[in-house]
Amino acid sequence: MKDPVMKKAFDQWEDLSRDDQKWVEYETRKKAIHDELSAAREAEIRQQRAREEGLAKGREEGMVAGKAGIVRNMLAKGLSIPEVAEMTGLTLDEVERLKRHLH
């Protein structure tokens, strides 16, 4: 082997392979590094899920707020609860609940 850096690395690897205690230390450290990387990746995944759930919740709340405004306007124009439910796709109970909250 002509490359001195590679030769040194290879020699160290051979030394490590012959020493059981060093080998156990090497494997233990390798496992610890792997565990740290896995934990970091898991945290990233959880953070991404939380972000996506927050965005979905925000969109849902925005849609509800938007429908509440539409329901308010429809009721103010004199439409009946069944008519509002039919036009908005909401249930009668949902329209009635919104009507109670609007007054």
For the stretch 25-53, pLDDT in tens is 889 999 999 999 999 999 999 999 999 99
Contact 16, 22 (CB under 8 A): yes
Instruction: Give residues with Cβ within 8 angstroms of 76, minimum separation 6.
Output: none
What was the pLDDT predicted at 63? 87
Contact 95, 84 (CB under 8 A): yes
What was the pLDDT predicted at 22? 82
Burial of 78 from C-beta contacts in 10 A (0-12 / 13-18 / 19+): exposed
Residue 103 predicted with pLDDT over 70: no
For the stretch 72-99, pLDDT in tens is 999 999 999 999 999 999 999 999 998 8
